[in-house]
Amino acid sequence: MKKIAVIICLVFCAGCAQSNLPLRDQVHLGMSIGEVWQLYGYDKDEPLETYKKVKYTLVEKRDTGKCTFSTHRYWFKNTEPFAGDQPYLLTFISCRLPNYDEVQEEIRRRRELFENDPNLKRKLDTFCQKYPVDSKNKDIVIELLHIYINDPLPQCMSEKMLIEINDDESPPS
């Protein structure tokens, strides 16, 4: 009888330890994507690559030319006991700021400078040798390098704000 009680206790404790998710009631319209991530315990000073607690997937991304809508599937703890974690579709909007075109032009200008500078190309090659970077991510590395070697660019898109919360009706995968 004691063994059964210990096993039941371990099952319940293991279930509690697995669900480190925030409650659905903590999320509301108007929150920024950073505020949603903070519910999972994310610290903005922590590197994103090392942060694995946010349980989400990108479902759809749509660009209207002025705004970008992105719908993500986030998992939240269910308030009902033994019901398990529940997926919700959260839609965020981020819109272009008035300086968007100027910032994009500056990115293009810096990219040209970068591509014609042999010193920066050597830095990129060194970086790619030190950290394995595949060809599809090389453009991202180039962009980050030429932005941060020069002055950081001003923000040209608004922060992602939560505009819609829906139950996820899709079958679990």
Q: What is the pLDDT of residues 9-68, one digit of tens each?
A: 444 444 444 457 888 889 999 999 889 988 887 776 665 555 566 778 899 999 999 999
Structural domain tally of the chain?
2
Percent over 90 (pLDDT), the chain? 28
Indicate whether 61 and 116 sit together in one domain: no
Please check whether residue 45 lies inside any domain of the structure: yes
Specify whether the CB–CB gap between 124 and 143 falls below 8 A. Answer: no
In the chain, the percentage of residues whose pLDDT exceeds 70 is 71
Mean pLDDT of the chain: 77
Same domain, 108 and 31: no
3-state secondary structure of 83: coil
128: in domain: yes
> Tokens at residue 73, please?
């599937």
Q: Using the predicted structure, report yes or no on whether residue 83 has a pLDDT greater than 60.
A: yes
Question: In this structure, is the dihedral angle defined by the CA atoms of residues 5, 6, 11 and 17, taken in order, positive or negative?
Answer: positive
- In this predicted structure, what is the pLDDT of residue 109? 83
Q: What ranges in the chain are assigned the alpha helix state H?
A: 2-18, 33-39, 100-115, 118-130, 135-149
Q: Same domain for 115 and 64?
A: no
Range of the domain at 42: 20-96+157-167
**Least confident range of 2-6, 47-51, 130-134, 164-168:** 2-6
Pair 118, 63 in one domain: no
Q: What is the mean pLDDT of residues 70-88?
A: 84
The answer to whether residue 135 scores a pLDDT higher than 90 is: no
Token output for 98: 């008035």
Instruction: Answer yes or no: do 111 and 92 share one domain.
Output: no
Could you tell me which residue, 89 or 122, shows the higher pLDDT? 89
